[in-house]
C-alpha cells in the first residue's frame, strides 16, 4: 500500500540521487565514472518500495548527461534492471553487484552505440571501467554506508517501513 510517507520517501530518494549525480557531474558521466549516487540503489534491496524514486532520480540525473535523451532512456533502464534484480539477492553484498553488472554492460554498449568508443577491445575495457566505478560507488562505499545506517534501529525501522 502506497501511503503519503512512501511517496515522500520516494521523492526524497529521487531528489537526493539526482542532486548527488548532478552535483558531482564530472565524476558521474562518461566512459570512466564513479557515480557516487549509485550507493542509494541499495535502499531497494532493503525495501523495494524505493525503486520508483530511484528510477525517477536516475532519469532526472541523466538529463544532465552529455549523452542526452539516449542516456535518459538507456542509462535509466540499466539502473532499473539492477534494482529489480536486487529483489532476488540474499545479501547486500550480492545486491551491490547488480548495478556493477547491469551498468557495466549496458552503459558500455550505450557508449559504443553513441560512437564514444569503438566496438572492439575498447568496448570490453569501457565495460570494465564502468563496472569498476560502480563497484567503488555501490559495493565499497554503499555497502559500508548502508550497513552503518541499518545498524541504527530507528533508521532501519523507517527504511523497512515498520513505523
Q: What is the pLDDT of residue 151?
A: 94
Q: What is the pLDDT of residue 30?
A: 81
Which residues in the chain land under pLDDT 50?
none
DSSP string over the chain:
---HHHHHHHHHHHHHHHHHHHHTHHHHSSSS---GGGGGGGHHHH-GGGHHHHHHHHHHHGGGSTTHHHHHHHHHHHHHHHHHHHTT-SSHHHHHHHHHHHHHHHHHHHHHHTTSS-SSHHHHHHHHHHHHHHIIIIIIIIHHHHHHHHTSHHHHHHHTT--
Q: Domain range spanning residue 148?
A: 4-159
Q: What is the pLDDT of residue 157?
A: 86
CATH of the domain at 41: 1.10.1760
Q: What is the pLDDT of residue 1?
A: 55
Q: What is the pLDDT of residue 114?
A: 86
Q: What is the pLDDT of residue 29?
A: 85
Total structural domains in the chain? 1
- Read off the pLDDT of residues 66-104 as tens digits, 9 standing for 90 and up: 989 999 999 999 999 999 999 999 999 999 999 999 999
Amino acid at each position: 500500500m502506497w501511503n503519503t510517507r512512501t511517496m515522500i520517501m520516494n521523492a526524497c530518494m529521487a531528489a537526493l540521487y539526482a542532486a548527488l549525480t548532478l552535483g558531482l557531474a564530472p565524476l558521474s558521466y562518461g566512459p570512466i565514472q564513479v557515480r557516487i549516487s549509485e550507493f542509494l540503489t541499495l535502499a531497494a534491496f532493503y525495501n523495494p518500495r524505493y525503486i520508483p524514486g530511484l528510477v525517477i532520480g536516475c532519469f532526472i540525473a541523466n538529463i544532465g548527461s552529455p549523452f542526452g535523451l539516449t542516456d535518459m532512456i538507456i542509462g535509466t533502464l540499466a539502473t532499473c534492471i539492477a534494482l529489480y534484480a536486487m529483489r532476488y539477492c540474499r545479501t547486500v553484498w550480492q545486491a551491490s553487484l547488480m548495478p556493477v553488472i547491469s551498468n557495466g554492460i549496458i552503459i558500455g554498449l550505450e557508449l559504443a552505440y553513441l560512437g564514444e568508443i569503438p566496438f572492439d577491445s575498447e568496448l570490453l575495457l569501457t565495460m570494465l571501467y564502468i563496472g569498476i566505478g560502480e563497484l567503488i560507488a555501490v559495493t565499497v562505499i554503499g555497502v559500508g554506508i548502508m550497513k552503518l545506517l541499518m545498524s541504527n534501529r530507528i533508521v532501519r525501522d523507517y527504511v523497512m517501513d515498520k513505523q
